[in-house]
């Protein structure tokens, strides 16, 4: 039986395993800690959000990787630490409707 119109639309709104591998590969790198993860949609992942804690020296490169992936709809970057920045929190969120 051929895919119906609604099935085709839903398939376009799902994150693939390759899409999600970006976040897991970042979380496995030294100096990067995944501190929050939310995924929306069952069984297909239709949206996600979370936060990384990274060293200030690597924050720019991580933000660049997230933006260039095309998977992230919004980012918020917060320096943490007074008086000197000790870590940077990068919050991200996305919808599969990109």
Q: Tell me, what's the pLDDT at 85? A: 93
Q: Tell me, what's the pLDDT at 17? A: 81
Q: Tell me, what's the pLDDT at 9? A: 55
Q: Which pTM does this prediction carry?
A: 0.77
Please give the CATH architecture assigned to the domain spanning 5-95.
Answer: 2-Layer Sandwich (3.30)
State the virtual CA torsion across 20, 24, 27, 29 in degrees, nearest 10. -120
**Is residue 47 within 8 Å of 41, Cβ to Cβ?**
yes
| Phi, psi (deg, nearest 5) at residue 7 | -65, -40
Domain ranges, ordered by start, for the chain:
5-95
Can you give the pLDDT of all 98 residues of the chain as single tens digits? 566 655 655 555 677 788 788 888 888 888 899 999 998 877 777 788 999 999 999 999 999 999 998 888 889 999 999 889 999 999 999 865 54
Contacts 24+ apart (CB under 8 A), 17-24: 19/71, 20/45, 20/48, 22/65, 22/66, 22/69, 22/71, 23/48, 23/50
């Amino acid at each position: 039986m051929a895919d119906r119109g609604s099935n085709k639309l839903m398939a376009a709104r799902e994150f693939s395993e390759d899409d999600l591998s970006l976040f897991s590969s970042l979380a496995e790198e030294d100096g990067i800690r995944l501190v929050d993860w939310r995924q929306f949609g069952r069984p297909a992942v239709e949206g996600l959000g979370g936060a990384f804690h990274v060293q200030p020296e690597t924050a720019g490169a991580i933000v660049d990787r997230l933006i260039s992936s095309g998977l992230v709809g919004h980012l918020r970057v917060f320096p943490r630490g007074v008086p000197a920045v000790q870590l940077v929190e990068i919050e991200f969120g996305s919808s599969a409707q990109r």
